[in-house]
A = this chain, B = another copy of it.
């Protein structure tokens, strides 16, 4: 095949990485063992796992949940699972991801690994050290793995980057037909991480890959570029700041209620949760909500409080895929529920 193909080569033989190891040195040794060398314009993708191991970022696994919370800046969504709570959070390292990127796979013994606190700095260090060792001006991507909001499975993405145009911004340019590509900015650093994962693979003990053929994305040795942090949306641009359940609870001021389970469960259970959320949304004078069959019975000390409580219940029911029909009862309000289509 001619043209300029992109080549992606997994670096085998790096072996187990320990605290204090020189990742750049291990990469260069692995390249030599494969009779390869680094060229100017190459891109090296390295799993965050080896960066974290070399930096000694391991914690005993008995504290995993606590570690996840410590590594989280903000809860985005959570669900109860049979073994605990699964959380999507804004990680201290930058991205929104499950469990703040705290990882128990491919680690020895009862420890978990945390992400490098500044992944772009880790990528810069690696880039500079590779230059010292080989003289080559390369791009570096520190990769990690994450799920996506609306797609199953995980893909690798750029957690950190140095020496790379992370975003190939086509805004203001035109396509082959002369049309304005006003909304197109390709997140090439993430695409590089994804391409590298096709040859790395979790089970194979291949924590790094060399990509050749992307020299047009690699910056001069004096420029490290904006880094992968620039690919994380800021709050103003984030239309999915909370999951839909979490958004409704937050709007009610009932953020502290235990997360719902992954599978929503039978209607009485969901009614109970809606009642709990409605009552957690701030004090209601004389407020009470009881589940009676397919109904919720609401009481409060005064009409104003009863109106507010009723509105809270209706909103909380929506987050349980239920709609309520409000009727006045002898001493309060009765809300009959029907299932909403999903």
Contact = CB atoms under 8 A, between A and B. Distances in A.
A95 to B, nearest CB: 7
A236 B262 CA distance: 8
A233 to B, nearest CB: 5
B7 A3 contact: no
Nearest to A319: B251
Interface in A210-266: 210, 212-214, 230-233, 235-248, 250-253, 262-264
B10 A7 contact: no
A101 to B, nearest CB: 12
A307 B318 CA distance: 19
B88 A186 contact: no
Interface string A143-179: 0010011111111110000000001101001111101
Interface residues of A, number: 111
Contacts of A315: 248, 251-252, 311, 315
How many copies of this chain are found per oligomer? Answer: 2
A151 B6 contact: no
A66 interface: no
Contacts of A195: 6, 8, 191, 194-195, 198
Nearest to A1: B36
A57 interface: no
A60 interface: no
B237 A240 contact: no
B187 A153 contact: yes
Contact of A243 (B181, B240, B309): B240
A25 interface: no
A246 B195 CA distance: 34
A153, A186, A213 pick with most chain B CB within 10 angstroms: A153
Contacts of A77: 239-240
Interface string A64-102: 000000000000010100000000100000011010000
5 contacts: A3-B12, A149-B149, A153-B231, A155-B187, A244-B246
Interface of A: 1-10, 12, 34-36, 77, 79, 88, 95-96, 98, 104-108, 145, 148-157, 167-168, 170, 173-177, 179, 181, 183-188, 190-192, 194-195, 197-199, 201-205, 210, 212-214, 230-233, 235-248, 250-253, 262-264, 302-312, 314-316, 318-319, 342
